[in-house]
Amino acid sequence: MSSPMQPKPTSAFASVPKEKIFFPNLDGLRFISFFLVFLYHTYMTFFNNIKDESPDAFDYVQRLFQHGNLGVNFFFVLSGFLITYLLIKEREYTGRIHVPNFYVRRILRIWPLFYLCVFIGFVVFPIIKKFTGQTPHEIAHPAYYMVFANNFDFMHSWPEKPDATLLSVLWSVAVEEQFYLTWPVILSIIPLRWYKFVFPAIMIFSLTFRAIHSGFNNEEYAYRYFHTFSLIGDMALGGLLAYLCSRENKFRNFITNLNRLQIAMIYVGAIAVVLFKSDLFDQNAFTVTIERLVIAFFFGMIILEQNYAKRSFFKMGSFKIMSKLGIYTYGLYCLHLLGFLITDVAITKAGFNKTSFAVALSGSILALLISIVIALASYHLYEKWFLRLKDKFAFIVKK
C-alpha cells in the first residue's frame, strides 16, 4: 500500500499525477465472498434434490451452505471500506472529492454488465423459453431495473422470485449503486473530522429501521434483507473502519499488532456467525435487529486483519488463483446463475439422477467451471472495453 499522502489541491484534473494504492489481499476476499454465495446457490439448486434420498448428506450440506448468502454482507462491508478509504485519500490528495468523476468511474464499472444481464433476463430468457415450448411468467418489473431500484421490486414480490434466475441476484447490485450515488456526496459535504460521527449515526439509523421491521414473516424479512435502509449499516461500518485506518493512530496500530490468539478469535467468530446464524440470531426481535451489525463487525475485522496485521496466519494475496479470480468477481456474481442453468439443462438432457449426491456434487463443480468461463469471457470481451476508460477519471489508481 502506498505511503500516506499529503493534500494537493488542484483545479486541473489532467495535470494531477495518479496516486497508487493497492490492498493485495482484497481480491482474494472478494472471491471468497462470491464463493459463499455460490455455495448457497448449489445448496438451493442441486443439493436440495437429494434430501429424500440422502437425508444425512443433505443435513450436512445444509448446515454448511444455508447461510452462504452472507457473502453479500461481506461484499457490502468491503465496498464500504474500500470506497470510503479511496474517497478519503482523494480528498487528502486533491483537496476535495470529485463527485462527477466518481460517478463516471462507477458507471463504467457497473452499468455495462448490469444492463447486459437485464437485457438477457427480460428479452433473451423469454425468447429461449418460448423456443423450448415453455411459457414465460416474469413477475419482475423492468422499470425498477432500469433505475437500479430492483431491490425494492424484489422486496415487494418476496418470497416469489423472478422467472429469469439471472435477475434474482441483481438486487444487491442495485443497493451498491444507491450507495455509490449518495456516499461521495455525503463525504464531500461533511468535514473530514466529523466522519467519526457520521458513520455511527448511519449505523444507528439502520438499526432503528431494522428494529421497526423485526417481525417474523415474509414481509418483515424482505424489509430487513432487501431494503437499502436496512443494509446501509454494513457500508457505514466498513466506512468507519476505513476512516479509523486511513492514517497512523492507536486503532490502526492495534490492528497491526494483533496477536495470533486475537486473530484466531476473529476467524472463529466469523465462521460461527456464518454456520450458526439461525441458532444465534433468529430468536427474537432484538437478535434479528442486531444480526447484520454483528456479522458485519467480524467481516470488517477480517478485512482489517488481512490489510494490516503483521502476525497473520495467512494472507489472501498468497493464494494466487483465488486472488486472480477475485478480479472477475463482479462477473462471477452477476452471471453464475447462467452456469447453474446450463448445468441443470445438461444434467436433465443427459438423464442423470438428480437425487444422487454424486450428481449434485458433480453439477456444482461443473457449474463453477462454466461460471468462471462465462465471467472470463464477459470481462475480456466486453467489460474491459469500458474499464480501460476508468483510470482517465481517477486520481487514485491500482498499483
| Planar angle of CA 368, 372, 374, nearest 5 degrees | 115
What is the DSSP secondary-structure string of 67-124? TTTHHHHHHHHHHHHHHHHHHHHHHHHHSS--HHHHHHHHHHHHHHHHHHHHHIIIII
Residue 7 resides in a domain = no
Total number of domains in the chain: 1
Residue 392 resides in a domain = yes
Q: Say how far apart CA 173 and CA 76 lie, in whole Å.
A: 10
**Cell numbers linked to 286:** 432484538
Of the pLDDT bands very low, low, confident and very high (cuts 50, 70, 90), residue 7 is very low
**Cell numbers linked to 344:** 441443470
Residue 21 is predicted with a pLDDT of 78
Is residue 1's pLDDT more than 50? no
Of the pLDDT bands very low, low, confident and very high (cuts 50, 70, 90), residue 397 is low
| Planar angle of CA 176, 337, 271, nearest 5 degrees | 65
Per-residue pLDDT tens for 241-273? 999 999 999 999 999 999 999 999 999 999 999
Residue 2 resides in a domain = no
Residue 10 resides in a domain = no
Residue 42 resides in a domain = yes
Structural domain of 35: 16-397
Per-residue pLDDT tens for 333-390? 999 999 999 999 999 999 999 999 999 999 999 999 999 999 999 999 999 999 999 8
Residue 3 resides in a domain = no
Q: How many helices (H) and strands (E) does the chain have?
A: 19, 2
Residue 8 resides in a domain = no
Residue 1 resides in a domain = no
What mean pLDDT is reported for the chain? 93
Q: Cβ(141)–Cβ(153) under 8 Å?
A: yes
Nearest C-alpha neighbor of 77 from the set 271, 335, 294: 294
Nearest C-alpha neighbor of 88 from the set 229, 15, 186: 186
Is residue 28's pLDDT more than 90? yes
Q: Is 196 exposed, middle or buried (0-12, 13-18, 19+ CB in 10 A)?
A: exposed
